[in-house]
Amino acid sequence: MTDAAPVIEVTMYTTSWCGYCRRLKRALAGHGVVVEEVDIEQTPEFGPIIEGLTGGFRTVPTLRIGDDYLVNPTAAEVLTYLGR
C-alpha cells in the first residue's frame, strides 16, 4: 500500500473578465493543481467574504486553500503554499 498525498481543496474566486484569474488557473493546471472556480458575479453571496479579506475590495483571484485564503497570489506562491 502506498501513502497518497492528501487532497487539498483549492477554490478560486474569480470574475468572467479577470485575465489574471485565467492565467493563474492555467498555470496551476499545468502543475496538476485542480481548482474549483466560483464567479463572484454569478454567486454574489461570496462577494462579502472577499471584501472582508481585502479591506472592502472584491479582489480576484482570491484562493481558499483549506481554511486559509491567498489574495491575488502568483502561481509560485500557491505552489509554495501547497508544498510543490
Which residue shows C-alpha cell 463572484?
40
- Helix and strand totals (H; E) in the chain: 3, 4
Q: What phi-psi label fits residue 3: left (phi over 0), alpha (psi between -120 and 50 degrees) or beta?
A: beta
**Would you say residue 7 has pLDDT above 70?**
no
In the chain the domains, ranked by start, together with CATH numbers, are: 10-81 (3.40.30.10)
pTM, entire model? 0.85
Nearest to 50 by CA among 20, 13, 24, 9: 13
**Would you say residue 55 has pLDDT above 80?**
yes
Checking 19-23 for CB contacts under 8 A at 24+ apart, the result is: 20/60, 20/61, 20/72, 21/60, 21/61
Section 7-32 average pLDDT: 93
> First CA to last CA across the chain, in angstroms?
23
